[in-house]
């Protein structure tokens, strides 16, 4: 993205809350190597003496997408010369070793960034005994402490701006009997997290929040209605009674303390379904936390009719689905965001063996297997269904 901005706009609008070396270009130069932003405004006008981190893979963008630099070495050198002290990425700054040898940048210039980085580390107490560092002595109970959650709720409530309140919908009256909630984000756990989000111990979707707020005496009717681009949706079916493993309903779940399903499982249990969402470090099962682990879920599925059924798998990080030993879905090495589906042609009373394998590296973790059939939303039926909603 190339953006042209005046200095006044940058100072009054974009730079007033803070600063970040992002991946875009401003006035022909990438932000991480921008004369105006990094040298003039940040270092000279603001007298900023701290360190600057690039946006993730922003330095790669110099030569891959912006085409402002010929290669990774030129990109790394220019970014450091402009005061981007550390990259959020994987490899570009490794080229600085050879860049120094080639005389493209001096060791003294590298040391400017090193000094900024280590100054921050010293200020954080990273080289002091733990007993002298207040950050090292915070108890785990500090996380999501009741007073902190109460303050966060207060901040959220006081920062909300109600733009429209048609028919005086809010506040919700205590006399209502039925609420209809329609839309693709209503029951979406990812949608409420945002970007670069924190990691709560429990995620409350919009639908969850409404149900908890109004209580059991109010009917809350929910339908997805549409996706973001069309109204042909996978309508889910509860197949739990059609799954069985060794005469037990559900899935045999095996959990491994490594990413590649190696060795004997640390734990094995039966699970009624596969619908897991863990935060990083959260306990998955005894002996396993949600980082650097893998799992295998096995079951047999018996079809009730001739026709077809679509299996949908959604997960982070990688997964494979096999049906009768045939691999039908594989995102093990390259998993872009979004679910994957496979349509299985079925015969009545036939049994199919399903094996779902999954691994988790770092960050949040989730794995879900659902089944159903694609249907176009019947808007007339949906309107009739919610006609009596308050």
Share of the chain above pLDDT 90, in %: 71
pLDDT single digits (tens) 208-225: 999 999 999 999 999 999
Q: pTM score, two decimals?
A: 0.70
Closest CA to 156 of 219, 198, 114: 198
Residue 211 CB partners (closer than 8 Å, separation 6+):
220
Average pLDDT in the 242-252 region? 97
Burial class (CB in 10 A: 0-12, 13-18, 19+), 235: middle
Closest CA to 80 of 53, 42, 40, 102: 53
Report the distance separating Cα 182 and Cα 186, nearest Å.
7
- pLDDT for res 10: 57
Active site residue 55: yes
Reported confidence tier of residue 17, pLDDT bands at 50, 70, 90: very low
Average pLDDT in the 270-279 region? 93
The CA–CA distances, whole Å, from 28 to 1, 63, 124, 326 equal: 10, 14, 36, 51
Query: DSSP characters for 51-118?
Result: --BBPTTHHHHIIIII--SSSHHHHHHHHHHTT--B-SSSSGGGGHHHHHHTTSS-HHHHHHHHHHHH
State both tokens at 265.
């499982």
Question: 């093990």: which residue's tokens?
Answer: 332
State both tokens at 297.
């879920």
Reported confidence tier of residue 202, pLDDT bands at 50, 70, 90: confident
Selecting from 2.60.120.10, 3.40.50.150, 3.20.20.300, 3.40.50.300, what CATH number does the domain 2-124 have? 3.20.20.300
pLDDT higher than 90, residue 16: no
Q: Do domains 2-124 and 234-375 have the same CATH topology?
A: no
Reported confidence tier of residue 138, pLDDT bands at 50, 70, 90: confident
Classify residue 172 by its DSSP letter.
P
Question: Per CATH, which fold does 234-375 belong to?
Answer: Jelly Rolls (2.60.120)
How many C-beta atoms surround the C-beta of residue 286 within 10 A?
9
Find the radius of gyration of the CA atoms of the chain.
27
pLDDT higher than 60, residue 2: no
pLDDT single digits (tens) 30-77: 999 999 999 998 999 988 888 999 999 999 999 999 999 999 999 999
- 225 neighbors 382 (Cβ within 8 angstroms): yes
Reported confidence tier of residue 13, pLDDT bands at 50, 70, 90: low
Question: 């803070």: which residue's tokens?
Answer: 18
Q: What are the structural domain ranges in the chain?
A: 2-124, 171-224, 234-375
Report the distance separating Cα 255 and Cα 292, nearest Å.
11
What value does the mean pLDDT of the chain take? 91
Least confident window among 20-24, 58-62, 92-96? 20-24
The catalytic position among 35, 40, 55, 316 is 55
How many C-beta atoms surround the C-beta of residue 220 within 10 A?
18
pLDDT single digits (tens) 346-364: 999 999 999 999 999 988 8
Q: Strand pairing of 178-182 and 340-346?
A: unpaired
pLDDT higher than 90, residue 389: yes
pLDDT single digits (tens) 319-351: 999 999 999 999 998 766 679 999 999 999 999
């Amino acid at each position: 993205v190339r953006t042209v901005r005046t200095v006044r706009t940058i100072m009054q609008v974009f730079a007033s809350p803070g600063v970040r070396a992002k991946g875009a270009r401003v006035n022909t130069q990438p932000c991480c190597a921008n004369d105006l932003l990094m040298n003039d405004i940040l270092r000279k006008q603001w007298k900023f003496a701290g360190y600057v981190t690039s946006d993730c893979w922003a330095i790669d963008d110099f030569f891959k997408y912006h085409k402002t630099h010929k290669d990774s070495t030129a990109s790394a050198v220019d970014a450091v010369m402009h005061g981007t002290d550390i990259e959020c990425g994987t490899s570009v700054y490794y080229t600085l070793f050879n860049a120094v040898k080639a005389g493209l940048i001096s060791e003294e210039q590298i040391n400017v960034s090193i000094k900024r980085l280590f100054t921050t580390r010293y200020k954080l107490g990273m080289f002091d005994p733990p007993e002298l560092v207040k950050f090292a002595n915070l108890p785990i109970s500090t996380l999501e402490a009741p007073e902190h959650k109460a303050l966060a709720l207060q901040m959220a409530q006081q920062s909300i701006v109600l733009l429209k309140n048609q028919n005086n919908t809010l506040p919700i009256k205590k006399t209502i009997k039925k609420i209809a909630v329609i839309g693709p984000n209503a029951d979406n756990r990812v949608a409420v997290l945002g970007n670069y989000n924190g990691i709560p111990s429990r995620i409350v979707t919009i639908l969850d929040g409404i149900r908890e707020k109004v209580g059991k005496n109010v009917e809350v009717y929910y339908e997805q209605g549409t996706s973001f681009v069309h109204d042909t949706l996978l309508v889910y079916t509860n197949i739990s009674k059609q799954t069985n493993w060794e005469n037990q309903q559900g899935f045999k779940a095996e959990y491994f303390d490594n990413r590649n399903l190696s060795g004997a499982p640390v734990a094995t249990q039966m699970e009624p379904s596969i619908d897991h969402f863990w935060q990083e470090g959260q306990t998955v099962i005894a002996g396993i936390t949600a980082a650097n682990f893998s799992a295998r879920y096995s079951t047999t599925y018996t079809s009730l009719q001739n026709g077809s059924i679509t299996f949908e798998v959604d997960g982070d990080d990688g997964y494979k689905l096999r049906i009768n030993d045939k691999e039908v879905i594989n995102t093990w090495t390259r998993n872009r965001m979004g679910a994957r589906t496979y349509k299985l042609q079925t015969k009545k009373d036939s049994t199919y063996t399903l094996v779902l394998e999954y691994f988790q590296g770092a960050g949040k973790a989730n794995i879900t297997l659902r089944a159903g059939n694609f249907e176009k939303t019947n808007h007339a039926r949906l309107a009739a269904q919610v006609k009596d909603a308050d």
